[in-house]
Amino acid sequence: MCASISGFSKLSKSKKIDWMVETYFSNAEETKNVLKQYWNTNDKLQQLHDEFIENTITNYYLPLGVAPNFLINGKFYTIPMAIEESSVVAAASKAAKFWLDRGGFKTKVISTTKIGQVHFMFHGAIDSLKNYFNHIKPKLIQDAHPITKNMEKRGGGIMDIELRDKTSDIPGYFQLHASFETLDAMGANFINSCLEQFAKTFKAEALTFDAFTSDEKDIQIVMSILSNYVPECLVRAEVSCKVEDLSEDQSISSEEFAAKFIQAVKIAEIEPYRAVTHNKGIMNGVDAVVLATGNDFRAIEACAHAYASRKGRYSSLSHAKVENGIFTFWIEMPLALGTVGGLTGLHPLVKLSLELLHHPTAKELMQIVAVAGLAQNFAALRSLTTTGIQQGHMKMHLMNILNQFDATNIEKDTLTAHFKVNTVTHSAVVEAIQQLRLKN
Ligand code: MEV
């Protein structure tokens, strides 16, 4: 019988598990064993994971893979990727190798500005509010100084605060729209702390602002929060080569490949049904590196898709062209990332991933992540416009199917060899494993 529970978070881990398995599972012991199988034998490490979130009952593993041979602005990288989808790391590695022989990836950070807003209501004369804002702006920045001083020493901090009038959308609604430079930190805590201080000063000082009427003195703060939409925290990654160097495959000429590839990108530029899948492929690469490096993939996802819709229609994040016989394929996307703070100094695998990437600055990580997205997109479009996606996908998926059938290592070797020359489908694999087992 399912039941509600109060005080759950205060129970010990084992009591939480007891309650959960007794309430929801038919086989309590088996369920507990599954959970315990994933506990780390190193108690300190387990405690670290337990304390990342509330009510931890076990660890949820994702594979951490690496994709070598990425040449980015003349420097070699092996990129760590945390992802469960079978074909992603293989595709990234293939794309890295392909472009390694053609000059590698070129990248550039375009901007690094982050945004936060204090949303508030004011029902009075707009000119009075503007006067108040101009009067109080230096004090907003001054009162936040204890929060910003360290960031300022390193060259970051508050860049500007604007008053934005949103009353045409919601009567009485205004914003303090602030921009920040947070250097190597993702900066969420820094920005939110500054915003909460702005809100406090903004509300309190209004009470003694002589030019306000008594009604105008009552500013109502709705909320203060960073925006994950950062269209001015932008990075560009690109690859290019002579059209004639494009094809490795006898079945398609370089010119034909370039033309088909560009058509595929153009379709994603104008057709949202295709653009979502196209960008999903980009995010396969982006998210995997974002996760491996301890960054917030939900923020990155939300922002990427908002940016992809910035012109009023959801569109491709990548673009391609041929000019003067040169094929160029590029991506421009917003990426608010950090290489200090958050999980970066805590999670042992995040630390390892950052070391593998030569301890990048946030700007360097933006470039690496954009490259992973572009590489993934290149690999997907290359397959889609030539062999089709299923050939590669199903080859990688083969191992998942074999694992579902608890295949032994010998069975795996035999069937991997078999499917090198036969088409992988779910039913073909099931049949092959059954045949093999009948023979033995
Ligand atoms: C699958 O995870 C990603 C693709 O669908 C991307 C694409 O279609 O471009 C292959």
- Angle between helix 88-100 and helix 272-292 axes, rounded to 10 deg: 90
Among 13, 16, 108, 280, the one annotated catalytic = 280
Mean pLDDT score, 283-288: 98
Reduced DSSP (H G I as helix, E B as strand, rest coil) percent helix, strand, coil of the chain, to 5: 50, 20, 30
Q: Which residue CA neighbors atom 7 of ligand 1 most closely?
A: 278
Does residue 76 carry a pLDDT above 60?
yes
What's residue 422's pLDDT? 87
Instruction: Give the per-residue pLDDT at 1.
Output: 56
296 is catalytic: yes
Count the alpha carbons within 13 Å of 6 in the hemisphere toward its beta carbon: 0
Structure pTM? 0.92
Residue 351, pLDDT > 80, answer yes
Angle (CA) 114 115 118, round 5°: 155
2 — pLDDT class (breaks 50, 70, 90): low
Mean pLDDT of 120-129: 98
Whether the predicted pLDDT of 232 surpasses 80: yes
Please enumerate in sequence order all residues whose Cβ is within 8 A of that of 30, keeping only pairs 6 or more positions apart, or say none: none
Average pLDDT over residues 94-117: 98
Residue 398 has pLDDT above 90, yes or no: no
* Pocket test residue of 260, 261, 273, 284 for ligand 1, highest count of atoms within 8 A of CB: 284
Predicted local confidence at residue 286, as pLDDT? 98
**Does any ligand 1 atom lie closer than 6 A to the CB of residue 281?**
yes
Ligand 1 centre from 361 Cα, in Å? 30
**Ligand 1 nearest atom to the CA of residue 274, by list position:** 8
* pLDDT above 90 as % of the chain: 91
Q: What is the residue with the minimal CA distance to atom 2 of ligand 1?
A: 281
What's the confidence (pLDDT) of residue 103? 97
pLDDT (tens digit per residue) in 82-94: 999 989 999 999 9
β partners of residue 114: 180
> How large is the average pLDDT for residues 276-290?
98
Q: And the tokens for 177?
A: 């729209």
- As given in the structure block, the two tokens for residue 288 are 């995997």
- pLDDT tens for residues 247-277? 887 788 999 999 999 999 999 999 999 999 9
State the distance from the centre of ligand 1 to the C-alpha of 335, rounded, in angstroms: 21
Q: Is 305 designated active site?
A: no
- State mean pLDDT over 237-242: 98
Nearest protein Cα to ligand 1, atom 1: 281
DSSP bridge pairs for 363: none
Structure tokens at 107: 């990248």
393 in catalytic set = yes
What percent of the chain is modeled with pLDDT above 70? Answer: 99
3-state secondary structure of 51: coil
Q: Whose CA is nearest to atom 9 of ligand 1?
A: 278
Query: Residue 157 Cα, ligand 1 centroid: separation in angstroms?
Result: 39
Q: What is the Å distance from ligand 1's center to 376 Cα? A: 9
Q: Are the C-beta atoms of residues 300 and 338 closer than 8 Å to each other?
A: no
Where does the pLDDT of residue 400 fall: very low under 50, low under 70, confident under 90, or very high at 90 and above? confident
More confident residue, 419 or 153: 153
pLDDT at residue number 425: 87
Q: Does the pLDDT of residue 61 top 70, yes or no?
A: yes
**Which has the closest alpha carbon to 264: 279, 251, 274, 254?**
274
Q: What is the pLDDT of residue 288?
A: 98
Please confirm, yes or no, whether 49 is among the known catalytic residues. no
Q: Residue 182: its pLDDT value, please?
A: 98
Residue 244's contacts (CB-CB under 8 Å, 6 or more residues apart) are: 254, 255, 325
Q: How far is the CA of 304 from the centre of ligand 1 (A)?
A: 16
Ligand 1 atom with the shortest distance to the CA of 85: 2
Query: Which has the minimum average pLDDT: 93-107, 232-246, 422-436?
Result: 422-436
For 8-24, write each residue's pLDDT tens digit: 999 999 999 999 999 99
Q: How confident is the model at residue 399 (pLDDT cuts 50, 70, 90)?
A: confident
Catalytic residue among 296, 347, 364, 397: 296
